[in-house]
A and B are shown apart, each in its own frame.
Chain A
Amino acid sequence: MMTLRLYMAQRISALIMAPLVLMHIGVMIYAIQGGLSAAEILGRTQGSAFWFLFYGIFVIALSVHAAIGLRTVLSEWAGLRGSLLNGFSWAVLVLLLILGMQAVYGVTAT
């Protein structure tokens, strides 16, 4: 059930995310020192166009990637097919986009 289109979307979103993930892990290793706090996070991200773009792109790529990935798992391990499978996949995509954009807004908006 993985067609060429889904496969390319999966691979391309993965390539987009690779440098973002490395950077994110780097930031986490930096940020975890001395504990986490809302003030520390906001001090870094609030009002920042860079972080807005960084996490915005991250969320979009992640939503596509995770939706297609879960689609494969649901199809192979849960036996879902047809409209049920497609419905689940779209639901995952939409859920992650909405929650993700809320998070991006939450940490970058002023």
Chain B
Amino acid sequence: MIRGHQTHTIWIAFLLHRISGVALALFIPVHFWVLSHALTAPKTLDGFLHWTELGIVKFAEFGLVFLLSVHMFGGLRLMALEFLPWTSGQKTLAASAVAVSTLLAGLFLLKAI
């Protein structure tokens, strides 16, 4: 699927949007299942949450916040493209979505460590 000049900025933005969407869709059921223990088995939940003290898990959480943020900002860019009057700065907007998401996820990581 990756061919020649197909790997241009807005195409990469598409790929990032799709990959982040699939990754989130795989994570969410696990996220829901873990949280559902809160009421009936809070000790089990605490057992899961204990893992979040590991550095590698904090880094993974950073990744998840980044993926959620970039998927949302990328999606907003798409909906603006579709429903608002046309603007030509699509590459700039796509890059901004990645930049803002890195900042947000970075802020999360700083608070986490």
Using a CB–CB distance below 8 Å, which chain A residues touch chain B?
A: 11, 14-15, 17-18, 21-22, 25, 28-30, 32-33, 35-39, 41-42, 45, 59, 62, 66, 69-70, 73, 92, 95-96, 99-100, 102-103, 105-107, 109
Contacts and interface: CB of A to CB of B under 8 A. Distances in A.
Nearest to B105: A25
Interface of B: 18, 21-22, 24-25, 28-29, 31-33, 35-40, 42-43, 45-46, 49, 52-53, 61, 65, 68-69, 72, 75-76, 79, 82, 104, 107-108, 111-112
Contact of B38 (A21, A28, A92, A106): A106
A87 to B, nearest CB: 17
Contacts of A95: 29
B25 A21 contact: no
Contact of A38 (B22, B45, B65, B108): B45
Q: Which secondary structure dominates chain A's binding surface? A: helix
B37 A70 contact: no
Contact of A32 (B31, B45, B61): B61
A11 B112 CA distance: 32
A95 B45 CA distance: 21
